[in-house]
Amino acid sequence: MRVNTMICLCFLPVVFLGLTGCGTEGNYKIAMDSWHGAPETALVHSWGQPDEVDPMQNGNKMYVYRVNEQASAVKVFPQNIGRISTQPSASIMRLPSSGISTGSYSFSCETQFEINRHGVIINSTFSGNNCVSTKNNAKRWSY
């Protein structure tokens, strides 16, 4: 009974990841492209006010949305078991201390929508290391 429980607990994260999927830039692009032809008012209703509105030389305007996040992570290196002696028959084992490393990471995504004089989105671009979406979230960000 205990072994079955352990097997279930070990595979639970794998099943969860399989169901949620991975975020990809391709899914994000699909969501952004869906806004082409949509009204400016729908974008503002869904995304909120842009972080910046830039007038363009051709009379259009560029709505700029930015997301910047900081995250910290702790990496733990497990203990390795190895032989102190080079002799195959040696039974003395050593347990080196495990290592811990921390780091801070920056995640960003800038998304731009070009809106023509008639208030219609005609183009979108994005850049950054966090412009990703799962298929389910892409539906939520789509028009």
Q: Distance between CA atoms of 115 and 123, rounded to whole angstroms?
A: 7
Segment 90-117, tens digit of pLDDT: 555 555 556 677 788 899 999 999 999 9
Segment 62-89, tens digit of pLDDT: 999 999 998 887 767 665 555 555 555 5
Given this model, what pLDDT does residue 74 score? 74
User: What are the extents of the domains in the chain?
Assistant: 21-84+92-141
The answer to pTM > 0.75 is: no
Torsion angle of C-alpha atoms 67, 69, 137, 29, degrees rounded to 10: 50
Q: Name the DSSP class of 132.
A: -
What is the C-alpha end-to-end distance of the chain, expressed in Å? Answer: 49
